[in-house]
Amino acid sequence: MEYTRFFLGYGVPVPRLLQVLPERMEALFEDAGDISLYTYLKCPRGVKATESLYTKVIDALVPLHTKATNHVGECMSLRRRVFDYDHFRWETSYFMERFVRAVAGRKADGGSGIEEEFHQLALTGDSFARAIVHRDFQSQNVMVIGGEDIRIIDYQGARMGPPAYDIASLLWDPYHRLDDMVRGRLLAHYTDSMKSAAGNFDEHQFVDSLLTCRLQRHMQALGAYGFLSIVKKKKHFLKFVDEGLWLLREDMEESGGRYPALEALIREL
């Protein structure tokens, strides 16, 4: 409820908080419908329609990374939550436990050098400038109302972290693969919008942080698919594993050999 009030105050399109009934421990929120961006894109859409909708989604995200971030002191519970070294390391441990061991059945340990690489990856992620990030900004957490209005949901995990993490989650999403040229234009739209909305936006650092965030995000996603499919018995999440691995392999190809132990593991997977 606190996040909702705060986000709405700075133009982030989350469902409206309609009523709070403390005596019943209930809150009533606007119904954002049942058509997520993921669901919407399951029907055939032309390139222009897809790009236009994603542009609106990015326009909904920019106020979170700018206006809301500039006033985060007004929301102390959010200001205190930081996507730091420990959270990055949690993600890579989650990937190893829930996906590599539980789904792929591989025994990988620190002797391979991979733990040191995860340490360096987390240090790098922790070094970037922070904004408010949704932290799970993928196509199933964006609702589409009437084919054009956007509502962002499932934002209770928001915290202060590198904004590239949200962009990696959206534009390199295992749930829906974007055409590379479309992704490039959407990325340019985000950076242009951030420059307009925030005079201190550091495009060079953002671009530099993107690959680290992609690696982290795709390992986290694969860990989540493992947890959901095995622990929660939601087997349909396994159908997204191939795309998640493919994206992770693309990330590694762009890393220029910086993480050889991780690259070897992904090649095996």
- Count of domains forming the chain: 1
Q: Categorize the per-residue pLDDT at 107 as very low, low, confident or very high, splitting at 50, 70 and 90.
A: confident
C-alpha distance from residue 128 to each of 45, 121, 212 (Å): 36, 12, 10
Min mean pLDDT across 34-38, 76-80, 122-126 is at 76-80
- Residue 44, pLDDT score: 86
- pLDDT of 111 > 80? The answer is no
| CA–CA gap between residue 113 and residue 239 (Å, rounded) | 30
Q: How far is Cα of residue 148 from the mean position of the Cα atoms in its chain?
A: 21
pTM of full prediction above 0.85: yes
What residues contact residue 259 under an 8 Å CB cut-off, 6+ apart? 117, 120, 121, 215, 252
Structural domain boundaries, residue 182: 2-268
Min mean pLDDT across 98-112, 154-168, 217-231 is at 98-112
What digits encode the pLDDT tens for the residues 204-243?
Answer: 999 999 999 999 999 999 999 999 999 999 999 999 999 9
Mean pLDDT for the chain overall: 95
- pLDDT of 97 > 60? The answer is yes
- pLDDT of 110 > 60? The answer is no
- Read off the CATH number of the domain in which 195 is found: 3.90.1200.10
What residues contact residue 78 under an 8 Å CB cut-off, 6+ apart? 2, 3, 6, 72, 132, 158, 159, 160
**Cβ distance 151 to 32 under 8 Å?**
yes
When pLDDT is averaged across residues 254-260 and rounded to a whole number, the result is 94
- Residue 179, pLDDT score: 94
- Residue 148, pLDDT score: 84
Strands 159-161 and 131-133: antiparallel
% of the chain at pLDDT higher than 90: 94
Structure token pair of residue 126 = 């922790």
Q: How far is Cα of residue 215 from the mean position of the Cα atoms in its chain?
A: 11
156 half-sphere exposure, CB direction, 13 A CA radius: 2
Q: How far is Cα of residue 39 from the mean position of the Cα atoms in its chain?
A: 18
When pLDDT is averaged across residues 79-104 and rounded to a whole number, the result is 96
What digits encode the pLDDT tens for the residues 47-75?
Answer: 999 999 999 999 999 999 999 999 999 99
Residue ranges of E strands in 83-164? 131-133, 142-145, 149-152, 159-161
